[in-house]
Amino acid sequence: MKKNIFKTAPILIILLAAHLASAQMPERIKNIFPAGTIMHENIPYDTDTLKRHKLDIYLHQNAKGNLPLVVWIHGGAWMLNDKYADIGYMKNTVKSFLEEGYAFASIDYRYSTEAVFPAQIQDCNQALAFLYTNAKKYHLDKDKIALIGFSAGGHLASLVGLSNNNRVATFSKNGKQLPFKIKAVIDFYGPFNFLALTPKTKTDDPKDPLTLLLGANPLDRPDLAMLASPSSYVDKNDPPFLIFHGEKDESVPYTQSVLLHSYLNIAKVKNELTIVPGAPHYGEMYDVAPFRNKISAFLQTYLK
């Protein structure tokens, strides 16, 4: 059974993940992409030398013109994994992006063990600003950007998408206004409201992922918890959402996605929620044809 990463994260695993984050693309990931895929690897998206401030861009070998862009944000409780994570069990979905005429980018961001929130959302926004500014160089359509995220990456994708029009100064580097607009968000089992996610009984575990992310227990600092919660930024001007969540998710209760769905409905933002019967927190059951078809139709509607 998969360990609940939202409850524990042994230091050995953290160190291993940090090592992997600096590694080259694994062959098992490279082999997922169609033959001849143009790969721009480990591009620095900031002016510093941090290993986590890098992204990859993938283009189909026959790509012409500037392509709509799908940006991948990995999961890992904000303290694990890298820009290749989740791709391994979503390989058919990833391949379909390139085959259907999209550019594809995957980004890294600082772990909560390196810097507390809002570092993670600042990094995501900085990466997106880089892609927007350098769109012509990499044959991207800067006005057609969609996000896809998994678990903690789903949280960050939702937070970027929902706060994009709110101009939250602390969410961007140096408080600058963000130049890009998000056209669509695909959220796989991401936390949506941290206070609703908090256990009924207060614990003071310093390794608790939310405590590490916020730098404080959410029940002690509900202001920080809500600052980091996508639920704080829902309004009628938000982009459409496609949401997937496993009924048997042992890490993030599926009610988190039900809340997202309800908030978006109240704001009259187009969205669709799929609760996957019997599904856990992640796995190949999310990479099946019916869900890929939903994603394909969603992107065709809102990105092309």
Q: Assign residue 78 a region: left if phi > 0, alpha if psi is -120 to 50, beta otherwise? A: left
How many Å apart are CA 165 and CA 161, to the nearest integer? 8
The pLDDT value recorded for residue 205 is: 85
How large a percentage of the chain has pLDDT more than 70? 92
Instruction: Say which CATH architecture domain 11-302 belongs to.
Output: 3-Layer(aba) Sandwich (3.40)
User: What pLDDT, in 10s, does the model give residues 10-43?
Assistant: 333 333 444 444 458 999 999 999 999 999 999 9
Cα angle 255, 260, 265 (rounded to 5 degrees) comes to: 120
* pLDDT tens sequence across 224-240: 999 999 999 999 999 99
- The amino acid at 115: A
Tens digits of residue pLDDT in 92-123: 999 999 999 999 999 999 999 999 999 999 99
Query: Is 137 buried (19+), middle (13-18) or exposed (0-12) by CB count in 10 A?
Result: exposed
What mean pLDDT comes out for the span 259-286?
Answer: 97
Question: Is residue 7 predicted with pLDDT exceeding 60?
Answer: no
**Confidence band of 202 (pLDDT split at 50, 70, 90):** confident
Mean pLDDT, the chain, integer: 92
For residue 1, pLDDT over 60 is answered with no
CA neighbor of 185 nearest in space, from 66, 73, 50: 73
Q: What is the pLDDT of residue 201?
A: 67
pLDDT at position 200: 65
Judge residue 25's burial from the number of C-beta atoms within 10 Å of its C-beta, 0-12 exposed, 13-18 middle, 19 or more buried: middle
Which residues sit opposite 193 in a β-bridge? none
* Sequence ranges of the domains in the chain: 11-302
Is it the case that residue 219 has pLDDT exceeding 90?
yes
| 80 neighbors 111 (Cβ within 8 angstroms) | yes
- The predicted pLDDT at position 130 comes to 98
